[in-house]
Amino acid sequence: MRAQADLLQTLQLAFGLAPVGLCVSRDRVVAVCNEAFAAMFGYEPGELVGQPLAPLYPSPDEFDHVGNLGLPVMRDTGVYSDERIMRRKDGSLFWCHVAGRALDRLNPFACAVWMFEDISRRRPVTASLTLREREIAQQLATGATSKQIARALGISPRTVEAHRARLMKKFAAATNGELVARLVGGG
């Protein structure tokens, strides 16, 4: 009995003091989170419990979009990860690495464990982007081609190229490589 109590205390300590944000969600609502998760988004730890994850995204459309991208992947593999722009309580945006694992692959959003890591130091949000530009920037940062991005987002490669051109202008990038470097925080 004492060993179980010690194990539970150790697990609570690990969860609470983890240097990254940890969250257990049920149906995309925060069931429990650690202090690092709450602080990353500008909240007190108890403020987020019972709250939907949607306000942590730049827009309701992005919340839906990421859910639509992640759901089939989680059903297939049980896990999902990406780098995306998230929103703090004060409205400021920041890049975040997110990885999650579903308890049940058949119903991944019923219960999932998530890790959030603020990567804004190496990848700052330096320009105001539209939803579509953020989606394309996210894909470009992974090295995806225009055709791959178009397929993933259900748009034409020509539309991707138009958005890429606007991104290059916003980031004052002369080449695609320079744009990707700026998107990932390398200059």
Regarding whether 175 and 101 lie in a shared domain, the answer is no
Segment 145-164 shows an average pLDDT of: 89
Over the chain, what is the mean pLDDT? 89
Regarding whether 112 and 167 lie in a shared domain, the answer is no
Regarding whether 69 and 24 lie in a shared domain, the answer is yes
Regarding whether 83 and 158 lie in a shared domain, the answer is no
Q: Specify the CATH number for the domain of residue 94.
A: 3.30.450.20
Q: Tell me the two tokens of residue 55.
A: 């306000």
**Residue 185: which residues within 8 A CB-CB, separation 6 or more?**
95, 119, 121, 122, 123, 124
Q: Is residue 126 part of a domain?
A: no
Regarding whether 113 and 142 lie in a shared domain, the answer is no
Question: Domain boundary residue among 69, 96, 118?
Answer: 118
For 36-62, write each residue's pLDDT tens digit. 999 999 999 799 999 999 999 988 888
For 62-82, write each residue's pLDDT tens digit. 899 899 889 999 999 999 998
Q: Tell me the two tokens of residue 42.
A: 């500008």
The total number of structural domains that make up the chain: 2
Regarding whether 88 and 143 lie in a shared domain, the answer is no
Distance CA 62, CA 136 (A): 12
CA 179 and chain centroid, separation: 20
Across the strands, what pairs with 97?
A: 83, 117
Regarding whether 112 and 142 lie in a shared domain, the answer is no
Question: Domain boundary residue among 118, 147, 163?
Answer: 118
Regarding whether 13 and 65 lie in a shared domain, the answer is yes
Regarding whether 29 and 108 lie in a shared domain, the answer is yes
